[in-house]
Structure 1
Amino acid sequence: MIQSWMVIAAVTALVAVGGVLFKPRDLKWAIGLRRPKWLTFEPLIPVIWTAIFICGAWSANIVWQQNPGSTKIWLLMSLYLLLEIVTVSYTSVTLRLRSLQVGTILGGSGAVLSIILALAVFPISRLAAGLLLPYIIWSPVGTYTTEEMIQLNPGAE
């Protein structure tokens, strides 16, 4: 029998893989952008986001287990999915459009969605809401970084 965590993990992985669909010329543009001097942890960003996605998937599984298949839970699963889609689209859409402003909007949208999701999940499970805290904390850091990059790269806004 397929367990709920397996389905949630598979959907998370599929959406994450879809987020890396961009062309090499788009990546070349991103590599050429100036970054804030304080951005010394950039090589750790993929590891940080992987941990955040694991926490999000774990949170979704906890919520699903509370009342599997109910309309409320399906709506919450849709919100989890929307949050992941917005998050992974940050890289591919920002690169494809070559627009840090779009990245800032997507990052800010993800931050707001994560707070809404945590508030919606809190009455169901405090642990599930707590597992969204890494996203709530980290997403504004990424959004702020992108906003700072706009200042350093005026033509890339």
Structure 2
Amino acid sequence: MIQSWMVIGAVTLLVAVGSFFITPRDVKWFAQLSRPRWLVFEPLIPFIWTAIFICGAVSANIIWQKNPGSLITWLLMGCYLLLEIITVTYIPLMLRFRSLRIGEIIGSVGLVLGIVLALSVLPISRLASLLLVPYLVWSPVGTYTTEELIQLNPEDA
């Protein structure tokens, strides 16, 4: 029998990996942008997001286990999925439109949805809500970094 954590993990992985296939091949534009001097952790960002997605998948599995198959649980699963999709579209959309402002908007929308989701699952499971805290902490860092990129590269906003 397929366990819920397997399905949730597979969906999380497919959405995350799927974003690599829709990323435009030409990333020269983004690579040539001026970056803030304090952005020394850029090579760690994929690992940070991987950890955040794992926390989100574990959170979703906890919620599923509390009340599997209920309408509320399905709606929450949809919110988890939407949050991940919004998050992984940051790079492809920003690159496709060559617009840092799009990245900033996507980051802000993701933060708002992350807050709503964390508050929605809190009455069901404190642990599931706590597992969303890494997203809630890191998402503003990414959005702030994008804002800094806009300040350094106003022609690419």
TM over 0.5, shorter chain: yes
1:48-97 Cα deviation digits (max 9, x unpaired)? 00000000000000000000000000000000000000000001111111
Match of 1:24 in 2: 25
Distance 2:18 2:98 in 1: 18
Pairwise CA distance, 1:100: 0.3
Pairwise CA distance, 1:5: 0.4
Distance 2:148 2:120 in 1: 31
TM-score by length of 1: 0.98
AA matched with 1:91:
I
Pairwise CA distance, 1:24: 2.2
AA matched with 2:62:
I
Distance 1:69 1:110 in 2: 25
**CA RMSD between the two structures:** 0.6
Match of 1:88 in 2: 88
1:98-152 Cα deviation digits (max 9, x unpaired)? 1000000000111111110000000000000000000000000000000110011
AA matched with 1:104:
E
Distance 2:62 2:25 in 1: 38
Q: Which runs of 5+ in 1 are unaligned?
A: none
Question: After the TM superposition, which residues 20-59 of structure 1 pair with which residues of structure 2 at under 5 Å, given as runs?
Answer: 20=20, 21-25=22-26, 27-59=27-59
Q: Which runs of 4+ in 1 moved over 4 A?
A: none
Q: Which runs of 5+ in 2 are unaligned?
A: none
Pairwise CA distance, 1:22: 1.8
Match of 1:66 in 2: 66
TM-score by length of 2: 0.98
AA matched with 1:23:
P
Distance 2:155 2:18 in 1: 27
Q: Does 1:98 align with 2:74?
A: no
The total of aligned residue pairs comes to: 156
